Structures are given as structure tokens and as C-alpha cells.
Structure 1
Amino acid sequence: MRDRYRIAPRRVSFDWQHTPLHWIPDEPTATHVINVLHLLLPAGERWFVKVFKEALPLVRDEALLKDVKGFMGQESTHSVQHSYVLRHLAEQGLDTGPYTQRVDFLFDVLLGDRPPFGLRLSEREWLRFRLSVIAAVEQFTAVLGDWVLRADSLDEAEPDPVMLDLLRWHGAEEVEHRSVAFDMYQHCGGSDPARYARRLLGMAITAPMLFYLWGWGAGYLIRHDPWLAGRLRYSLREHNRAVAKGLLPTWRELGSAVPRYARRSYHPSQEGSLRKALDYLATSPAARAAAGAVGRAALS
């Protein structure tokens, strides 16, 4: 992959003016389960970039360094674009502040510059642990990115095209840079067996944390949705109904990501189709508009 092209951010933009609150028509549960991405990603991806900046001096591989810098640029753009969606939700009467404040606390304090609760870890070891968490999170974002690129049932549900483009542009870039966080951890994580054990620990903490945050976030959005006015609660029954319609990934798709990651021989290049991701990025309205803007700027 490194020989063929360079990972680089696409400076996309989206017009949310005509996007309804329930952007999958008549599917509030599926809409809000996916909307949890907008709650988690602005703070989470800012944190990715911050931790990677701390680790950059440890990188001794020039090809990896270029990939990492491209990854950081893409993650920064993701964070900004999902922040705009939060603003759009607020304009429609759905205040996400109480939830996102807790997410900010998670990344800024519990996973901040220093270990929480007085844990006695060296600066280097704390950095390695946080890199292992990022690698584990990126395992799930690659799986979700691959799913949204293949989710034909989403198209059949006639969702808002702008939101679908945001999700597929983001998902395609997650597949595009699926290996970078893992490679960064392997490069900076010391030697085995400690490196491998820490990789497992990172996933053991990350997987339940993400599932908890997702369920909590979906419940929060549905409870505070002004259009629902308390008539619906988040439930596994409604979630599974949306899964059966192909509007959400299956539990098997999500859960099987963990044992794959735990294999010693595992590498994220096995996740999804890079060709499918690049094909979508070549046709994405937002990505094409961003490429055109860059081209016009170069000619002026």
C-alpha cells in the first residue's frame, strides 16, 4: 500500500441544511445508533492525534512516519466534520452536551497525559498503553467502515444522501488507513511478550468500553429526541429489528473482530477491501468536491 499511494486528508465539507433529524426515514433506532458516532468521534479522534503527536519522536521508519502523519490529518478532519453534525443536532432541538461532556472526561482525564487514580506507570509505558487502545479502537472503525461501504440495505431505506456520504467517506478512509494505528503500536510498543500482552489488554479494555458507550449513547439520543417525545426507548429488540433489516451491523460482525485481533499473526490489512474503499472515495460527492477545490487552488 505504501508503494502505491500516500495516505492524505481530504478537506471535505457537507451541507446539513436539509438533513432531517431522522435521516433514515421511519427508523429512529437505527438512526440514533449510528448517530452515536457523532458523539464519540470528535473528542476521540482529537485524542488520537494528541497521543500520536507524543509518539512521533519514537518513529524511526520513514514510510510509517508518512502514514502516521496522513492518518493524523484524516482523523483531524473526521473530528471536525462530526462536530458539525453535533451542531446540526442541537439546531434541531437535540442537545448532546451532557453526554459529550462525559466523553470529553474519558479522553481528556482518564486517558489524558498522566495515568489516572495514582497508577504508577512510567511516561513511556502510559504512552504505549494509550497507543494500544487506539489500535484496538481502529480495529472496530475498520470493521464499521467496511460494513457501511457494503450496506446496500441503507440505500434501499432511502436515507439522507448527505449523511450517507459522510458515513461512507469516513468509513472508506478508515479502511484506507486501517493498518496505521496497529503498525504504530507495533513500532513503538517495545518487544514481545510484553508488547503482545499489552495489545490484548488494550482490546480487553476497549471492546467493553465501546459497547457500553454505544448503548448509553443510543439510549441518550432516543430519550432526548424532541420528535419522539418519550414515546420510544432504546432496546435490544428494536436494535435487532434494525439489524435484521440490514440497517446496522450484526453482533457477529462486531464481536468476531475481537478474536481476529487477538491472533499473534493478525494484521489489519486483512480487514475489508482497500479497492472498494478507494472506489468509493473516487465517487463520493464530498471527496470529489474536495479534490476539485484542491485542483482549482493549484491552478490559481
Structure 2
Amino acid sequence: MEFNKHIALAACEAPLRTSTKLRKMLADESKVPLACPGVYDGLSTRIALSCEFPVLYLTGAGISASRTGMADLGLTTMTEMAQTAALVCNLNPDVPVIVDADTGYGGTLNVSRTVKEYIRAGVAAFHLEDQVVNKKCGHLEGKEVVALDEYISRIRAAVKTREQLGSDIVVIARTDALAVTGFDDALTRLKAAVAAGADVAFMEAIKSKDEARKLCEIFNPMGVPVMYGMVQGSQAARISVSEAKQMGLSIIVYAGMCLAPTMRAVKQALMAFKENGDCEFYDDGKSSPKEFFKTFGLEDLQRFDTQVKRETAKVLKDSAESV
């Protein structure tokens, strides 16, 4: 009876999937555009969560830097991406996370496996691109894209896998063709991807606000949200959140939002330490181990530990009295 009670409670209290929550956000005009800071590990995710961002973006470039220590040149594997996604998504399972899926890491079967792993990890949405497998960051020069049919086969593999698993994970079609074959070809690719079942259109490395506006004018009447990638210091057109709303953009991801400031701040602190021999030279006096760990759930963890100890003592006491 007790076991069955827990099954019934689990069925009644099943939380809303973050993919479903993200879809509801995208359908709510008052919530878009969704401004999503780029996180890359547990540290950056906890900080972003403490700032109460409603949606996060897990950047492939950031994972490449933090997990391999190398530039974003397609060196990270699906396993590394999925493991990081699982960590990030489960630090707060109520917050949707959009994740970079690169090229899907191979052919259609590889794409399918990637989607399955992302769904298991709790990913709300992912973007799949048309670069060759040995890809590079979308804001670097010298990119190459695959033929249209190969790109659409990736999208179909992702959509079909989603359907087979009964998931509503959001499939974002990304094209890097703008810098390779021009706007018209990139647009053709996105239209074909949407026809193949993709939910969101994403043209990478747009340098003109007019091009971003034109995308919205084309896809918004079709009911297709448009995503934009903003990377500080790149040649991407600088579009504010208010401008994005006027244009009709639904999602803006800021891939380097956490990565770039972290790199600068850590380097500055290390150089100050090297020059002065004092680890607190750069500090403002407000840091302490306790304050640091509060961001990472210290109070919740301690509260849980205390509750378990109290409940254990009660169980042992009740058990002894019943003998």
C-alpha cells in the first residue's frame, strides 16, 4: 500500500518538463525575447541561477574551453557535451537550458543518439547546424557547410528521434551558410529545416540588423520563433533586448556572457598575485568561504543534512519503543 501511494503521488505531482515550459514562454509575447546568458560549467551556472535568469544557454565554445582547454574547433565530443548538459540542467531542473549540439557529431545515427542523450539529460532545446563535422566557432573565418540534403537529414533525424521518444524538446535549426554562401542560401536552408520539423530558425553570425529584421519578417508570420546569437567583441550586429523585441526576435543567446568576464577577472587576479604576493590584493574584502558557498547551495545542503539526522533519530526512537 505504501509503495502504491508513492506511485500515485509521483503521477499526480510530475513536474512540467522544461521543454514544455520553454514552449510556453516562446508562445507568450510578454516573455519574449528570452535573453539567455551563456554558461559552461557548474560554477557559471550557479552564478547565473543566483541572478534568477529564467532561461540559460549552454555554450559549446565554453565547454571546449573549460573541459578540453582548447579553442572551439569541433574537438569536444557528444559525451562531453551531454555530461555537461546533464550537470547544468539538473542544478535547477525548473530552469530551461538551451544547449549547443554542434553538427550532431556525425551522421544521422549520431544525431539520433545525441538527441536521446540530450533528452535524458533534461535539455529543453538544442541547436543543430550545417557545418562540416570538423566545425569551428560560428564567429571564426574559414567555415565550411555541408550540402543542403545532408543538413536536412540531420534535422529530420533529430525530429524523428524526438517523436519516437514522445518528447517535446525544442529543435533549433542553425545555419552557418551566411558567411559561406550568402543570405539567400542561408534563408533557403532555414526554410527547408522548418519544413523538416525544426521549431526555431537561427542564422549564425549576422552582421546586419537589417538581415535580422528580414528574418523575423519572414518567419514570424509562419509562427516560427527566430533566435539570435550575440557574442561580445565579434562582428555580430549589436542588438539590445529592447531592439530585439521591436524586430520580433524570440531568443537571444549571449554565448560569452560568463566566459569572457571570467577569463579577464581570473587573469587579473593571478597577475596581481604574481606581482604582489598577496592573494587578497585584488579582493574588496567582501569574500569569504561561507559567502562563496552560499551561491552553490550551502544552506540548502546543510538544511537537508540536518533534517535527515533528525528524522533518523526519530525513526530509531520509534522503532525502539515499538519493540
Relative to the length of structure 2, the TM-score reads 0.26
More helix by share: 1
Bigger radius of gyration among the two: 2
Specify which structure has the bigger relative contact order, considering alpha-carbon pairs within 8 angstroms and separated by 6 or more residues.
Answer: 1
TM-score (norm 1): 0.27
